[in-house]
């Protein structure tokens, strides 16, 4: 892959809030999650867990209990990404900062978004930490909810106003 292709992919990704109900081949979701599973993780803990929510009734319950928007229902796939806090470093070393497992899951989240974009699909993260997702999906207590992700065919692939970025210079500081 050329760097410019990766640059284009990063530029193409944006948060999609409107999906057109088209279903997606489950194989595509497998491929996207296989990409996410290639993400870096502290001590190679691979702490991410992916809960793919298929049933419309379950999605409605999540929507009613945990979401501010009504966008989950139209997306072809809804995935809840969690961090299994019982994960252990492969090399048996101590994890000095267990929160780094959450950061690792954030990396997996980004792999999902970029992989979906590369497939021509729309995607968006959904904050879920404030809702009773554990009960709704019977998620084990050791798993911390990181976020939800919608994936589907975008009904309107237009960036929201909140897609704008501040100038790069305002977030980069070079230390000589
Ligand atoms: C951890 C996380 C949680 C988010 N939660 C929501 C959400 O609950 N609802 C929503 O509409 N967008 C959510 N977003 C999407 C952001 O609003 C969006 O990424 C940001 O406005 C930048 O726009 P862009 O993704 O189009 O570049 C979330 C993004 C992240 C990374």
Q: Which domains does the chain have, with CATH numbers?
A: 16-156 (3.40.109.10)
**CB-ligand 1 contact for 166 (6 Å cutoff):** no
Centre of ligand 1 from the C-alpha of residue 167, in Å:
19
pLDDT (average), residues 141-146: 95
Centre of ligand 1 from the C-alpha of residue 127, in Å:
8
Above 80 in pLDDT, residue 157? no
For the entire predicted model, the pTM comes to 0.95
Q: Residue 156 has what pLDDT?
A: 73
CA-angle at 64, arms to 76 and 57, nearest 5°: 50
Of 35, 26, 131, 134, give the one whose Cα is nearest residue 83.
Answer: 134
**Which ligand 1 atom is nearest residue 162's CA?**
21
pLDDT (average), residues 111-137: 93
CA distances from 5 to 8, 11, 36, 71 (A): 5, 10, 19, 30
**Whole-angstrom distance, CA of residue 52 vs CA of residue 38:** 18
**CB-ligand 1 contact for 70 (6 Å cutoff):** no
């Amino acid at each position: 892959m050329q760097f410019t292709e990766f640059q284009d992919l990063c530029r193409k990704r944006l948060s999609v809030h409107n999906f057109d109900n088209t279903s997606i081949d489950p194989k595509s979701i497998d491929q996207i999650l296989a990409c996410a599973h290639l993400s870096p993780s502290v001590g190679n803990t691979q702490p991410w867990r992916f809960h793919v929510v298929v049933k419309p009734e379950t999605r409605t319950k999540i929507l009613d209990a945990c979401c501010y928007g009504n966008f989950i229902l139209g997306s072809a796939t809804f995935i809840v990404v969690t961090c299994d806090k019982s994960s252990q470093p492969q090399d048996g070393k101590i994890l000095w900062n267990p929160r780094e497992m959450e950061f690792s899951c954030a990396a997996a989240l980004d792999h999902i978004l970029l992989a979906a974009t590369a497939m021509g699909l729309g995607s968006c993260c959904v904050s879920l930490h404030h809702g009773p997702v554990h009960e709704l999906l019977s998620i084990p207590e050791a798993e911390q909810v990181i976020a939800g992700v919608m994936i589907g065919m975008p009904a309107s692939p237009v960036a929201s106003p909140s897609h704008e970025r501040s100038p790069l210079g305002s977030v980069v500081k070079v230390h000589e």
